[in-house]
């Protein structure tokens, strides 16, 4: 059973890459047989992007998704989680022009959370007045969110009808999982209304905390079996601009280590 597919070149710019190291991923909590025991990391010789030599095949994804972190499933303290996500909603509303402008519509504005995990962002967006829906690849994730009375679907956003425009799309710790991020951003651009907001959170390999973890040899992202990319802030910014998004803000949340949270507007 083929679980992996080798990248022929850098997944962002299509230039050649060089190997920079191998990490033992058997220490990862989701690792299990028959998943490969190590990850090999590459750096593009042209754009500097850092990516894995292989990405998951369809069979590989099924194997990876057969298990889940507890934070990928609904549950826990809902008020604590709402407190964690409220700043993201508030910043998004500010980027869109303020609460009264965003909510002063006949229909509630839509918020689509891709890779919704435990659903806490969907629930918090609903509290602020959005018509929020979460998408995820894990069936158990989706069923738990639905059981709590919130909207969720097990669907690949790449297959969504582009005529159904939404106001806001969030990808919180998702883009690093996608084999070809530029293709994903181009799809999102088609799903967002003109002037709509895109929020992306992902680890930042140029952040101070990332460099400290590397120096202490305690960086968990090198063994992260679900990730195909380690983005720098500049490379993520450049990719968004190339896809005709306007960078509207940056935050450094404390949900995971070494994170950046980028706010962008879909250019007309």
Query: What does pLDDT average to in each consecutive run of 10 residues of the chain (268 residues)?
Result: 94 97 93 94 98 96 78 72 95 94 87 94 96 90 90 91 90 96 96 96 97 96 96 97 97 92 93
> What is residue 73's predicted lDDT score, i.e. its pLDDT?
60
Q: Give the length of the chain.
A: 268
> What is residue 72's predicted lDDT score, i.e. its pLDDT?
55
For 69-266, CATH number? Answer: 3.40.50.150
> What is residue 78's predicted lDDT score, i.e. its pLDDT?
84
Please choose, from the candidates 16, 21, 26, 50, the residue with its C-alpha nearest in 3D space to the C-alpha of residue 224: 26
Compute the distance between CA of residue 22 and CA of residue 53 in angstroms, rounded to an integer.
Answer: 10
- Which tokens is 124 given? 């918090």
List own/partner pairs for 147-156 with CB under 8 A and 24 or more apart: 147/74, 148/74, 148/119, 148/123, 150/119, 150/122, 150/123, 150/126, 151/122, 152/116, 152/119, 152/122
């Amino acid at each position: 059973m083929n679980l992996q597919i080798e990248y022929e070149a850098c997944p962002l710019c299509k230039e050649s890459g060089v190997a920079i190291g191998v990490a033992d991923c058997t220490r990862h909590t989701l690792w299990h047989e028959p998943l490969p025991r190590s990850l090999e990391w590459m750096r593009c010789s042209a754009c500097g992007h850092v990516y894995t030599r292989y990405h998951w095949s369809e069979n590989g994804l099924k194997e990876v998704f057969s298990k889940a972190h507890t934070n990928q499933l609904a549950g826990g303290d809902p008020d604590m989680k709402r407190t964690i996500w409220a700043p993201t909603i508030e910043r998004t509303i500010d980027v869109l022009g303020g609460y009264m402008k965003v909510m002063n519509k006949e229909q509630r504005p839509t918020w689509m959370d891709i890779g919704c995990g435990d659903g806490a962002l969907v629930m918090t967006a609903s509290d602020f007045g959005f018509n929020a829906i979460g998408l995820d690849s894990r069936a158990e994730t989706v069923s738990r969110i639905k059981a709590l009375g919130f909207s969720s679907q097990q669907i690949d956003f790449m297959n969504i009808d582009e005529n159904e425009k939404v106001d806001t799309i969030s990808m919180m710790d998702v883009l690093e999982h996608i084999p070809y991020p530029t293709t994903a951003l181009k799809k999102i651009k088609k799903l967002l209304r003109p002037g709509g907001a895109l929020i992306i959170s992902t680890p930042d390999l140029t952040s101070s905390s990332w460099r400290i973890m590397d120096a202490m040899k305690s960086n968990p992202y090198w063994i992260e079996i679900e990730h195909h990319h380690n983005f720098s802030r500049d490379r993520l910014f450049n990719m968004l601009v190339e896809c005709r998004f306007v960078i509207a803000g940056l935050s450094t949340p404390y949900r995971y280590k070494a994170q950046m949270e980028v706010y962008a507007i879909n250019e007309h």
